[in-house]
Amino acid sequence: MMNRQLPNIVDLLLDAVFLVDKEGRIVHVSAACEHILGYKPEEMTGRMMMDFVAPVDRAKTRAEAGTVIAGEQRVGFENRYIRKDGRLVHLMWSARWSEADQLRIGVARDVTERRRAEDMQAATYAISEAAHSATDLPDLLREIHFTIARLVPAAGFAVALHGCKAGEPALPYQCGLSGGDSEVVRELCDETLRTGVAAERPATDHGSEEWIAIPLLSQSGSSGALILKGYRETRYSEKDKELLQFVSTQVATTLERRRLNEELTRAARYDDLTGLPNRRLFQDRLHSAMARARRHGERIALLYIDIDGFKQINDSLGHGAGDVLLAEIGLRLQQSVREEDTVARLGGDEFVVLLEGVQVPGDALLVAEKISAAISHPVLLDGHMLCVKASIGLALYPDHGESQDRLLSHADREMYQVKKARSAGL
């Protein structure tokens, strides 16, 4: 009597009971599967269990099934399944192998709501950790991608940020996207960045992917968007969208904080007018260059540069024209040296160039001549075509000193000797 009633009793359980053969085919499933997965028992019976598992969880599910078949009872294993409507559910399993029946017996409990709450907390922590540990923006965005992929299905992922050219969106990070996806990505970028609200591209049929773009909103407004491409088998639920909205706020705040920190760091180490390293950053680079030169037995050179007659230009044409001249000279200095050399503005009209790997003093003199020629090219200031000259002093490490102060002092004295000789007409 009890054995005959057992299937009816099992069907009363809120958890779903599955019987699966050794090949992974469903032999029997209880009535609760319809509430949990949306399928009636007869729709699942005879099909492969793995067909219902989320693609990203299939590998670990196969491994877990192998462990059960080998005779080990498993309790508390979690994975994600695809509902009939395409949404994902988190299931927690208790399973064992029946040798007599050659069946895997599993009991599945829907833990989606519990996992969602845990995921939101974990996402906040993970994004915060990434903000502190990431070495650069691509590294941070990669960690954000990994965090989001653990929360919702994402076959493809991209981050769009407001670009610097006429509001054009930039895509500093993308993964899992193909050339054929570029049009829909661009459309979602444009729409989300323009409106500041989520945009979607629903799947057109069962074999196509769903797309969603979530704006990155912070106190300063919309800074970009998260763009997700779903799997063909899955669809984004309203709960998924709520979770993405929550995560996007954390991401936006993190990116905004990082941007502000970078601006503060740059302001502390770079000159606002020319964009060149300031005295503080130059001293750091000089310290490192001296250490390398000492270690490898090499020379470095300092060129101390002062613009002749700059005060008169400022007084006659105004500070605005003077600023334009300084910015132009900074650009010409950068164009006159190698990419690995350092050009810095110490203040006022004083610049310094750090040259590493100098073989003989003549190498530095050739660079000084190149710089002098570049600066002397005419420049248009406030309607006036001016030709300016620069006085340049040279110091070599270790020839003229083995400390920063000695090197800078020597180069400064040399520069004033040049200026003095030029004033005397020599």
Neighbours of 122 (CB within 10 A): 14
Name residues whose C-beta falls within 8 Å of residue 186's C-beta, 6 or more positions apart in sequence: 169
Residue found by looking up tokens 């462990």 in the block: 67
Distance of CA 104 to the CA centre of its chain: 44
The region that residue 418 occupies, defined by phi over 0 for left and psi between -120 and 50 for alpha, beta otherwise, is: alpha
Would you give per-residue pLDDT tens digits along the chain (426 residues)?
335 545 666 666 789 999 999 999 999 999 999 999 999 999 999 999 999 999 989 999 999 999 999 999 999 999 999 999 888 899 999 999 999 999 999 999 999 989 888 888 888 888 888 888 888 888 989 999 998 888 888 889 999 987 644 445 688 999 999 888 989 998 998 899 888 899 998 887 666 889 999 999 877 778 899 999 988 888 888 888 888 998 898 899 888 888 888 888 888 899 999 999 999 999 999 999 999 999 999 999 999 999 998 989 888 888 888 999 999 999 999 999 999 999 999 999 999 999 998 988 899 999 999 999 999 999 888 788 888 999 999 999 999 999 999 999 999 999 999 988 877 654
CA 201 – CA 21 distance, rounded (Å): 39
Catalytic residue, candidates 349, 363, 399, 405: 349
CA 371 – CA 331 distance, rounded (Å): 11
Q: Where in the chain are the domains?
A: 2-110, 114-269, 279-423
Q: Which amino acid is at 240?
A: D
What phi and psi, each to the nearest 5 degrees, are found at residue 261?
-65, -40
State the fold for domain 279-423: Alpha-Beta Plaits (3.30.70)
Q: Which amino acid is at 162?
A: H
The reply to whether 2-110 and 114-269 are identical in fold is: yes
Q: How many CA atoms lie within 13 A of 32 on its CB side?
A: 18
Q: What is the CATH number of domain 2-110?
A: 3.30.450.20
State the fold for domain 114-269: Beta-Lactamase (3.30.450)
Q: Which amino acid is at 249?
A: T
Closest CA to 273 of 348, 188, 355, 382: 348
Q: Is 349 known to be catalytic? A: yes
pTM above 0.75, yes or no: no
CA 40 – CA 144 distance, rounded (Å): 37
CA 101 – CA 283 distance, rounded (Å): 77
